[in-house]
Amino acid sequence: MWNGLFFGAGGTQTVTLQSLETGCDSLATLTLTVTPSQVPDFDQLGPYCQDDPADALPNISIDGITGVWGPPGINTNAVGPTIYAFVVDPNQCALNYQMVIQVNETPDLSIIGTDEICEGQDATLTALSGLANGDFYWLPNGETTNEITVSPTQTTQYTATYSVGGCPSPVVDFTVIVNPNIPVYAGDDVTLCLGESVALNGSNGINYSWSGGVEDGVDFVPSETNVYTLTGFSADGCETQDDVLVEVLPLPVIDPGLPLSVCEGELVVLSASGLGIGGTYNWDNGASDLVPFNLNNTTTFTVTGIDENGCQGSASVTLTAEPNPIALFQANPVSGAIPLNVDFINQSSNATQYSWDFGNGDELNYFEPSNPEISTIYESEGFFNVQLIAQNDLCSDTFSLAINVLEIADPIIFVPNVFSPNQDGTNELFLIDTENIATIELIILNRWGNIMARIESLDGGWDGRSSNGNDAEEGVYFYKYTATGMNGSDLSGHGFLTLVR
């Protein structure tokens, strides 16, 4: 064998021949020159983007080594690293070569976000990709984040790209439509009175909502002055607002005046206040403000006042008509001779207090429930005016009656119309009662005109017998009389009487 034969490196080496049997070396010597193998030198290709055109693999290295590649060409459809082998042609002192070529995946890209807004609104656009660690780029504003917020004033198209490892995504467009804001109208300001209703109506929109719980076009009764905001929506859903002032005026406070008590039929005047200048008052029950009228019954009057703003208030007042007393009395007798004792009967009504003036200096005052006997004596001749004033708490009435007191009283004759001379001791005589009579003549006749009796005594009477002393028959008889009074006056009369046995 050759001692020291080694070909791992280039250069010149001397080797000796050694016998394996004898162990003797140096049988022969040999000087060898070894040229070292070259490593082909290539420019690194790639990385490439998926599906991009690729460079051709060179069959000659930079240092002139030839060979072939396997695979023979770069496949950019194969994403990731791929090993390409360069096999050196024969008879070249060179080594085979491997090149790793990277093909990067083309990133996907999509945009999500609000594609329709109203004037003045913002839209948020988000670019999405399945690959991470890339770079975003937006047009027209040049943003480099995956999410942007835009505020276009008109419909605008936005473009985004995304690059990972130098490989760009396809360009993606996203259009944001800007709908115009169409102003809504809440209507003119409203002035109304407390308690009145109003309906607020929006216009120039499709749908409406109001602040304060108000429903569009539906009556409601506001309790105070307020500003109501209308939010209206167009057909595109764009929202605008407008305000309307609803002014609630307080109702006037009417003063109808104080309650009043008067006598029935007395004149009264109703006078209301509280409206100020320009207000009007209307009373019920036929009354008018400041116009006198007679109050005949207790009545509650209601006044309605309308102020200068048209707001209405009302109030009531009760006017009490106290019943008028009716003063009335009877006197017995109303005439007679001195001394004349007259008794009075009080027939008044609706009164509680009485004042008597008897005209002769005597007076009497008393209150109910007292009920005294009322009388007086007249000691002198003349006419005496008796006056009674009957009163209640508020009203009074007066009644007067003249008493004629004579020095000699007027003659009086009373004639009965039946008697019964039957010996029972009762009503046995037909007897005329007289007062102040000086003389009298009484004649009794039967139905044939025959005189049954003639009586000329003030104390005499007919006993039911004829002039011959026989009992007269039962039946109707005629009488007539003539008399002279003590005062010289003449009296006469006639009539019928009945005799009953």
Query: Could you tell me if 88 and 95 are in contact, meaning their C-beta atoms sit under 8 angstroms apart?
Result: yes
pLDDT at position 165, please? Answer: 86
More confident site: 27 or 483: 483
Q: Which pLDDT score is estimated for 231?
A: 95
Residues 6+ apart with CB under 8 A from 500: 418, 419, 420, 422, 474
Q: What is the pLDDT of residue 435?
A: 87
Specify the DSSP class assigned to residue 211: G
Phi, psi of 275 (to 5 degrees): -90, -25
Q: How far apart are CA 321 and CA 300, in angstroms?
A: 11
Structure tokens, 75: 């496949």
Upper half-sphere CA count for residue 186 (Cβ side, 13 Å): 19
Whether residue 10 has pLDDT greater than 70: no
* pLDDT beyond 90 at 187: yes
pLDDT at 61: 94
Using pLDDT thresholds of 50, 70 and 90, give the confidence band for residue 370. Answer: confident
Q: Please, are residues 318 and 332 in contact by the beta-carbon 8 Å criterion?
A: no
**Intra-chain end-to-end CA distance of the chain, in Å:** 214
pLDDT at 35 over 90: no
Q: Is the peptide bond before 333 cis (omega within 30 degrees of 0)?
A: yes
Classify residue 458 as exposed, middle or buried by CB count within 10 Å of its CB (0-12, 13-18, 19+).
middle
Lowest pLDDT segment from 18-27, 88-97, 426-435 = 18-27
| List of residues 6+ apart from 116 with CB closer than 8 A | 176, 177, 179, 236
Task: Give 461-483 as a 3 state SS string.
Answer: CECCECCCCCECCCEEEEEEEEE
Global pTM? 0.52
Question: For position 21, what pLDDT does the model report?
Answer: 66
